[in-house]
Every structure is written in structure tokens, then in C-alpha cells.
């Protein structure tokens, strides 16, 4: 028999109240058990409710917040006119995803550090991968072949490194972050050009693997 689960919208509303209570406390408590207890108290949530809505403790709340930021960014990316060039669409989307955490840079930096601990590192990697996937889908990518993985792997590197710069930059306009992001995207685009040229050149060469396989079993 399946265990009864709380209504999703009700559960998310409860986590939302808990998150609202927790974020102002993060600079003082960090993402810790004490933070959860204080936030639950301020949100009027019992210990049983806290265990129900955050079964993995503070990591559950970080995951909820991260997904909220992903969803907020997805809606923002879909709003307004999308640039024609892919590099501009990626730039706009990454900046909008960063904007989703604006005003809570300290809490986000601490959440990032918390997810680097042994019990959170797998979750952190999964969240980062999903953010990259969200960005690609939001800008209209429909690939399903090997490019699906390579695009997300490349963007994951761009996203994580740009996030680190964004979190450390004090200027509200984030000029260093934008310049860094532009350089990273330029590097990726140059790599893609080189890869396309190499693939084009290799396309005209014999398939040595196929030839070797035939030789193994003899030729006719």
C-alpha cells in the first residue's frame, strides 16, 4: 500500500512559508538544523509538519528554493522577445536565472557551500544539471540525440563558473559577471566551430573501425 502523501500545492505552500521565514535567518544560522527549527517556529509549523515537508532536513528546503528559482527564471525567459542568435539567447537566459536569486546572494552562496558537503553533493549536481536543462528547453532546444547531453554538460560548466563570479561581485549591475559570461560563451562558440570543422573533415575519411572489424573475420 502506498503511503499517503500531502497535497502537492498544500505542501509547496507550507514549504514556501518555511522558506520565507528561513531566508532572513540564513546569514546568522547558516543552512542548519537550528535554522529549520527557528523557521518552523516563525512559520507556525509543528515538528511533525517539518519532518513531513522537509524529510531530508535543510537540503529539502534548499531543493525547494532552487526549483522555485528555476521556475521563476523559466517564466522570465519565456516573456518578451527572444534574441535571434543562440549565444544571445543563452546569455539572456543565464542572466535571468541569476536574477532569480537577487537579494539573497548570501543565502545562495551558503546554500551552494552546503550542497558541496558529502550529504549534499549529489543533490547539488542534480540541481545544476536540471538548471542547465531548464535553460536549454526555455530557449527552444529540442535536441534528443547525443547533443542533448553535450549541450547540457557545456552549459553546466558555464553556469556554475558564472554563478561563482556573480555571488562574489558586490556591484549590483554585475559588470564583471556579464563580461565573464560573454567570454565563456565566446569560448564555447569557438569550440563548437572547431568541432564542426573536424567532424566535416572526418566525414570524408574511411571508417577504420569498420575496416578493422571486417579484417578480423576475413575479407571476401
Using alpha carbons only, what angle is made at residue 67 by residues 63 and 68, rounded to the nearest 5 degrees?
A: 115
Q: Are 116 and 124 in contact (CB under 8 A)?
A: yes
If asked whether residues 51 and 86 sit together in one domain, one would say: no
Burial class (CB in 10 A: 0-12, 13-18, 19+), 140: exposed
Q: Residue 156 and residue 151: Cα distance in Å, rounded?
A: 8
Contacts of 97 (CB under 8 A, 6+ apart): 69, 70, 73, 131, 134, 135, 159
If asked whether residues 206 and 122 sit together in one domain, one would say: yes
Half-sphere exposure of 102 (CA within 13 A, CB side): 12
In a domain, 101, yes or no: yes
If asked whether residues 97 and 194 sit together in one domain, one would say: yes
If asked whether residues 95 and 170 sit together in one domain, one would say: yes
pLDDT at 218: 54
pLDDT at 1: 38
The dihedral through the CA atoms of 63, 65, 69, 71 has a sign that is: positive
DSSP state of 25: G
If asked whether residues 48 and 139 sit together in one domain, one would say: no
Half-sphere exposure of 188 (CA within 13 A, CB side): 21
If asked whether residues 215 and 106 sit together in one domain, one would say: yes
If asked whether residues 10 and 112 sit together in one domain, one would say: no
In a domain, 161, yes or no: yes
pLDDT at 195: 47
In a domain, 138, yes or no: yes
Mean pLDDT for back-to-back runs of 10 residues, the chain (220 residues): 57 96 96 96 96 96 98 95 90 97 96 97 97 95 85 93 96 96 88 50 50 49
3 state DSSP class of 167: helix
If asked whether residues 83 and 119 sit together in one domain, one would say: yes
Torsion of CA 29, 35, 37, 41, to 10 degrees: 90
What range defines the domain where residue 34 resides?
A: 1-55
pLDDT at 158: 95
Q: Residue 91 and residue 125: Cα distance in Å, rounded?
A: 21
If asked whether residues 219 and 121 sit together in one domain, one would say: yes
Total number of domains in the chain: 2
If asked whether residues 210 and 110 sit together in one domain, one would say: yes
If asked whether residues 26 and 114 sit together in one domain, one would say: no
Q: Residue 188 and residue 82: Cα distance in Å, rounded?
A: 20
Amino acid at each position: 500500500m502506498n503511503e499517503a502523501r500531502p497535497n502537492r500545492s498544500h505542501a509547496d505552500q507550507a514549504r514556501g512559508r518555511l522558506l520565507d521565514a528561513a531566508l532572513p535567518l540564513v546569514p546568522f544560522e547558516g543552512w542548519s538544523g537550528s535554522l529549520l527549527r527557528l523557521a518552523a517556529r516563525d512559520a507556525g509549523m509543528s515538528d511533525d509538519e517539518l519532518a513531513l515537508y522537509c524529510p531530508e532536513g535543510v537540503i529539502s528546503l534548499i531543493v525547494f528554493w532552487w526549483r522555485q528559482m528555476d521556475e521563476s527564471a523559466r517564466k522570465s525567459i519565456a516573456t518578451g522577445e527572444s534574441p535571434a542568435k543562440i549565444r544571445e539567447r543563452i546569455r539572456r537566459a543565464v542572466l535571468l536565472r541569476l536574477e532569480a536569486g537577487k537579494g539573497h546572494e548570501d543565502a545562495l552562496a551558503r546554500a551552494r557551500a552546503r550542497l558541496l558537503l558529502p550529504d549534499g553533493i549529489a543533490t547539488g549536481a542534480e540541481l545544476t544539471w536540471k538548471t542547465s536543462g531548464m535553460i536549454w528547453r526555455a530557449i527552444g532546444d529540442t535536441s534528443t540525440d547525443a547533443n542533448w547531453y553535450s549541450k547540457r554538460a557545456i552549459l553546466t560548466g558555464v553556469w556554475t563558473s558564472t554563478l561563482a563570479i556573480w555571488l562574489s561581485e558586490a556591484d549590483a549591475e554585475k559588470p564583471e559577471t556579464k563580461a565573464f559570461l560573454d567570454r565563456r560563451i565566446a569560448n564555447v562558440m569557438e569550440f563548437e566551430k572547431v568541432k564542426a570543422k573536424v567532424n566535416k573533415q572526418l566525414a570524408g575519411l574511411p571508417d577504420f573501425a569498420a575496416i578493422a572489424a571486417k579484417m578480423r573475420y576475413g575479407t571476401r
